[in-house]
Structure 1
Amino acid sequence: MKYVILIHSNPQPWGHPTQQFTEEGRALPSEEHAEMDRGFEALMEEISASGEFVVAEALADPASATLFRWTPEAHLTTDGPYAETKEHLAGFFLIDCATRERAEEIAAHFTQPGGTVELRPAMWAGGDDH
């Protein structure tokens, strides 16, 4: 089953990897960042070799977004960001795992200073939504 790992963060300024641009991330010593980077690379090698990795993308600054809203009269277009929240979607990973437990195990590795990780099953026409 496919799962989406959504990475939410509030880097200031916006940048990737987001952990280096959050208040919590900037407080960590460079050695800790290097260790986190090595762990991330090892995870990516593992899930690539196992076939669980499907695709991933980092997203640009939410301020660069264009929003399209439907109204009965016409489509309304405005500048982003959409969310009036502190954290924004920074990127996503699509994985394909045999079990939800395995997906949760992988998603837990994506936690980072100043960010939140959300795991959600992917949907398809006629598919189960939980």
Structure 2
Amino acid sequence: MPKFLLLKHYRGGPEAHHQYPPMDQWAPEDVEAHLAFLQHVSEMLEKSGEYVGAQALTPARDWVRYGGPDAAPVTSDGPHPETSDLVAGWYMVDVESRERAIELAAYISAGPGPGGEPLYEWIDVREIMSAPPTDQA
């Protein structure tokens, strides 16, 4: 069965369906409802046998690259400042098909936001590479 990474984003995707403030500006009860929904998703995936893992991420991050054989790693706040609030968290799922991964992503996208309204957030669905790519030239 293929594994997929379902990436949740802080600020939507190619086009925001609804503009919501960042979660740190939500009412406490809205944050609690959203986190309860995410816990429900994890429990649902565990029950169905599709759960591999899940984590929420903070917006803080460092960009790191190799500094050379005699140098320390180079760190920065990022070559792309707009990505500082990109990935909010992820689910790793082991499912029967890409279609099932898309179905789960759509369900997660409907999680509650401010006022209990669905977020309609973009979820990036990425299949985990199971073998090196082949040249099909």
TM-score over 0.5 (shorter chain) = yes
Q: Within 5 Å, which residues of 2 pair with 1:17-96?
A: 23=21, 25=23, 26=25, 30=29, 35-62=33-60, 64-69=61-66, 77-85=74-82, 87-96=85-94
Call closer, same or farther: CA 1:45–1:119 in 2, change over 3 Å.
Answer: same
Call closer, same or farther: CA 1:2–1:127 in 2, change over 3 Å.
Answer: farther
Q: Taking every aligned residue pair, what percent have the same amino acid on both sides?
A: 24
User: What TM-score do the two structures reach when normalised by structure 2?
Assistant: 0.61
How many residues align? The count is 115
Paired with 2:10 and 2:98, the residues of 1 have a C-alpha distance of 24
Tell me which amino acid in the other structure corresponds to 1:107: A
Contact 1:24 1:114 in 2 (8 A): no
Contact 1:6 1:117 in 2 (8 A): yes
Paired with 1:81 and 1:23, the residues of 2 have a C-alpha distance of 23
Tell me which amino acid in the other structure corresponds to 2:57: L
Contact 1:68 1:75 in 2 (8 A): no
Q: CA deviation at 1:94?
A: 0.7
Q: Which runs of 5+ in 1 are unaligned?
A: 11-21
User: What TM-score do the two structures reach when normalised by structure 1?
Assistant: 0.64
Q: CA deviation at 1:61?
A: 3.0
Q: Which runs of 5+ in 2 are unaligned?
A: 12-19, 112-118
- Please list the CA deviations of residues 67-118 of structure 1 after superposition, one character each: whole Å capped at 9, or x if unmatched: 11577x9776022235332541222211000011111111112225495320
Question: Would you say 1:3 and 2:4 are equivalent positions?
Answer: yes
Please report the RMSD computed on the Cα atoms of aligned residues, expressed in angstroms: 3.5
> What corresponds to 2:129 in structure 1?
123
More strand by share: 1
